[in-house]
Amino acid sequence: MTIRQLSVFLENKTGHLNEILSILAKNNINIVALTIADSTDYGILRAIVSDPEKAMQALRAEHYTVKVHDILSLEMAAAPGSMSHILDLFTAADICIEYVYAFSFGSKSILMIRTDNCQKAFEIIKTNGLKPIREADLK
Amino acid sequence: MIWNKEIECMSREEMRTLQGKRLKELVNRVYNNVEFYKRKMDEMGIKPSDIESIDDIVKLPFTYKTDLRDYYPFNLFAVPMKDIVRIHASSGTTGKPTTVGYTKNDIENWREVLARCLSMASISNEDIMQVSYGYGLFTGGLGVHYGAETVGCSVIPISGGNTRRQLQLMTDFGSTVLACTPSYALHLADALAENGYSLADMKLKIGIFGAEPWTENMRLELEKKWEIKAFDIYGLSEIMGPGVANDCPAHAGLHVHEDHFFPEIVDPHTKLPVVDGEEGELVFTTLTKEGIPLLRYNTRDLSTLNSEKCSCGRTTVRMKKITGRSDDMLIIRGVNLFPSQIEHVLLEMGETSAHYMLYVDRENNLDTLELKVELEEANMVETIRDLQMLSRKIEHALNSAIGLSVKVTLVEPKTIARSEGKAIRVIDNRNK
């Protein structure tokens, strides 16, 4: 129920995002999902890619600060209220959400969640029969 | 190993007698051959005959860097040019370069003091030394080179720069000693992995680092990164170049070769000698120098002196490791700040790299400080909040260490300019 996510430290400079994208392109790495958290001086690029290890090596070789983390991933029903339903369960269990993003892959709606308590989140997913997504589901 | 036991383990009284004898000869030489010193001494009413022992040194005039500039290029030389066999010059970033000249005897003495320094670091004819100090007008490269040949090392005169080649030769030639600035040693260590080199394929065991102020923490960091023993070599071209002093394995101060370079510590403001153990500006008199002998040259380096016998057996006076110069000292909102204090804090925290640049500016008549520091490639945190907490943590640590508020900005690795010689750590925009 987790997917490897790439996090890259990124200074706010014109054209900088594209430098990273072109390194990924050169290495034939496909981007499945991408989001950027920003602050005044820098941001963090988060991406789900076809080959996270290869992407990390390629970016480190160009001196980027990169890490690969495991992030919770769930499939949601493509219907109103489905995301809210999942978050209700988390809130009831007093699990705090650090960041979240969603994307669709084919016909699937996918939710990526980073919480402050991974173990507890796993339990919620199991006991409520939520549908996890694995990396293989995104090939 | 002690290269010259007779001198390095001499009793304090014998040393002072030797220094007194050499000072008398020196004062005679400069009074009769250098117009600058004759005029200065005449103005002060001092004659060479007034100097009877080393204690009389306090009667003599000081020399400053500006004097070397004013007498550019050769007017402080005490011998005719036919006796000068080598000329070195400083880069002159803040004005005219300063020029120094060496006679054959000066070069011999330079080799001798360097041989003592290198022996202190257990370097011998078994070693292969990679000299990555710049060769040329800068005294670092050639100075260490001659000393290394004197102890019988196999010397690789690679000079500074060309990082990939440095690592290649270090591996292929099996260098056991690296001599360069500490900032370049750090840069080379960081470049190892990315250039596909590994410590396992190298034979490096000793580092001879110097030519810029650096902290004890940086010394330990370099020892850890390279898995070597690191030593501090001190010197300045005005006095000789590298080899004025060096630390022994006790790392309890740098042994000054005081039979050639007589050290004093003076108060930065009053220029009066301070009591033993107190900090002040380091002043040297070149007791044996022939080419450009200097009386009481003020280095502006801040240090203390300790004349107790060292556990290594040497009796020569030790100077505290230089971590700042009164020239490098920044005055920020009235508070004295040395860049080395920042380095100390960063290395102690160990959560970023030690590559930083300090920007000083003035907004609404208030000095501001911004520190840009590089994240390490493998040290990514996951959220913006974690990054902001890291900056804040560094800000707090700096604030409690230096008593100034500093804005800390995290930047990407390898974005702060690297130096292949002396590091530039501060950009002061206040007077622009």
B417 vs A: CB within 8 A? no
A8 vs B: CB within 8 A? yes
Tell me if B412 and A66 make a contact (CB, 8 A cut-off).
no
> What's the per-residue H, E or C state across chain B?
CCCCHHHHCCCHHHHHHHHHHHHHHHHHHHHHHCHHHHHHHHHHCCCHHHCCCHHHHHHCCCECHHHHHHCCCCCCCCCCHHHCCEEEECCCCCCCCCEEEECHHHHHHHHHHHHHHHHHCCCCCCCEEEECCCCCCCHHHHHHHHHHHHHCCEEECCCCCCHHHHHHHHHHCCCCEEEECHHHHHHHHHHHHHCCCCHHHCCCCEEEEECCCCCHHHHHHHHHHHCCEEEEEEEECCCCEEEEEEECCCCCCEEECCCCEEEEEECCCCCCECCCCCCEEEEEEECCCCCCCCCCEEEEEEECEECCCCCCCCCCCEECCCCCECCCCEEECCEEECHHHHHHHHHHHCCCCCCEEEEEEEECCEEEEEEEEECCCCCCCCCHHHHHHHHHHHHHHHHHHHCCCCEEEEECCCCCCCCCCCCCCEEECCCC
Residues B266 and B366 in one domain: no
pTM listed for this prediction: 0.76
Residues B293 and B369 in one domain: no
Residues B214 and B360 in one domain: no
Judged against a pLDDT cut of 90, whether residue B364 lies above it is answered with no
Judged against a pLDDT cut of 70, whether residue B288 lies above it is answered with yes
Judged against a pLDDT cut of 70, whether residue B92 lies above it is answered with no
Tell me if B383 and A44 make a contact (CB, 8 A cut-off).
yes
- Please give the residue that has the higher pLDDT: either B310 or B341: B310
Query: Could you give the CA distance from residue B74 to residue B77 in angstroms, rounded to a whole number?
Result: 6
Residues B378 and B260 in one domain: no
Give the confidence band of B133 by pLDDT, cuts at 50, 70, 90.
Answer: very high
Task: Name the domain boundary from B267, B302, B327.
Answer: B327
Mean pLDDT, all residues of chain B: 92
Q: What is the pLDDT of residue B334?
A: 74
Whether the CB-CB separation of B31 and B42 falls below 8 Å is answered with: no
How many domains would you assign to chain B? 2
Q: What is the pLDDT of residue B90?
A: 79
Residues B156 and B260 in one domain: yes
Q: What is the pLDDT of residue A32?
A: 95
CA A17 to chain CA centroid, nearest Å: 17
Task: Name the domain boundary from B283, B304, B327.
Answer: B327
What residue has token string 């996270």? A52
Residues B292 and B315 in one domain: yes
Residues B241 and B374 in one domain: no
pLDDT in tens, B31-54: 999 999 999 999 999 999 999 999
Chain A positions touching B382 (Cβ under 8 A) are: 7, 44, 67, 69, 98, 114
pLDDT in tens, A61-117: 998 999 999 999 999 998 999 999 999 999 999 999 999 999 999 989 999 999 988
Chain A positions touching B413 (Cβ under 8 A) are: 63-65
Chain B positions touching A56 (Cβ under 8 A) are: none
* Min Cα separation A61/chain B (Å): 7
Tell me if A39 and B384 make a contact (CB, 8 A cut-off).
yes
Chain A positions touching B409 (Cβ under 8 A) are: 41
A:B CB pairs within 8 Å: 60
CATH of the domain at B411: 3.30.300.30
Tell me if B379 and A65 make a contact (CB, 8 A cut-off).
yes
Q: What is the pLDDT of residue B97?
A: 78
User: Residue ranges per domain, chain A?
Assistant: 2-67, 71-138
Chain B positions touching A99 (Cβ under 8 A) are: 383
Q: What is the pLDDT of residue B91?
A: 65
Tell me if B410 and A60 make a contact (CB, 8 A cut-off).
no
Question: What is the domain extent for residue B414?
Answer: 330-428
Nearest residue in A to B388, CA atom: A39
Judged against a pLDDT cut of 60, whether residue B93 lies above it is answered with no
* Min Cα separation A44/chain B (Å): 7
* Min Cα separation A27/chain B (Å): 18
Q: How far is CA B217 from CA A82, A104, B154, in A?
A: 55, 51, 30
Residues B209 and B223 in one domain: yes
B194 vs A: CB within 8 A? yes
Provide mean pLDDT across the span B132-146.
Answer: 93
Please give the share of chain B, as a percent, with pLDDT higher than 70. 98
Provide mean pLDDT across the span B234-251.
Answer: 96
Cis ω before B268 (30° cut-off from 0): no
Tell me if B380 and A37 make a contact (CB, 8 A cut-off).
no
Provide mean pLDDT across the span B137-152.
Answer: 95
Instruction: Please measure the distance between the N-terminal and C-terminal CA atoms of chain B and give it in whole angstroms.
Output: 51
Paired with B306 in beta bridges are B318
Give the range among B66-70, B93-97, B244-248 with minimum mean pLDDT: B93-97
Mean pLDDT, all residues of chain A: 93
Residues B28 and B170 in one domain: yes
Give the confidence band of B95 by pLDDT, cuts at 50, 70, 90.
Answer: low
Tell me if A67 and B385 make a contact (CB, 8 A cut-off).
no
* Min Cα separation A129/chain B (Å): 28
- Fold match between domain A2-67 and domain A71-138: yes
Residues B363 and B310 in one domain: no
Task: Name the domain boundary from B276, B297, B327.
Answer: B327
* Min Cα separation A36/chain B (Å): 10
Tell me if A60 and B414 make a contact (CB, 8 A cut-off).
no
CATH of the domain at B2: 3.40.50.12780
Residues B261 and B376 in one domain: no
Q: Which fold has domain A71-138?
A: VC0802-like (3.30.2130)
Give the confidence band of B398 by pLDDT, cuts at 50, 70, 90.
Answer: very high
Q: What is the pLDDT of residue A67?
A: 92
Q: What is the pLDDT of residue B432?
A: 61
For residue A66, give the nearest of B380, B388, B414 by CB distance.
Answer: B380
B409 vs A: CB within 8 A? yes
Residues B167 and B25 in one domain: yes
Q: Please provide the CATH number assigned to the domain covering A2-67.
A: 3.30.2130.10
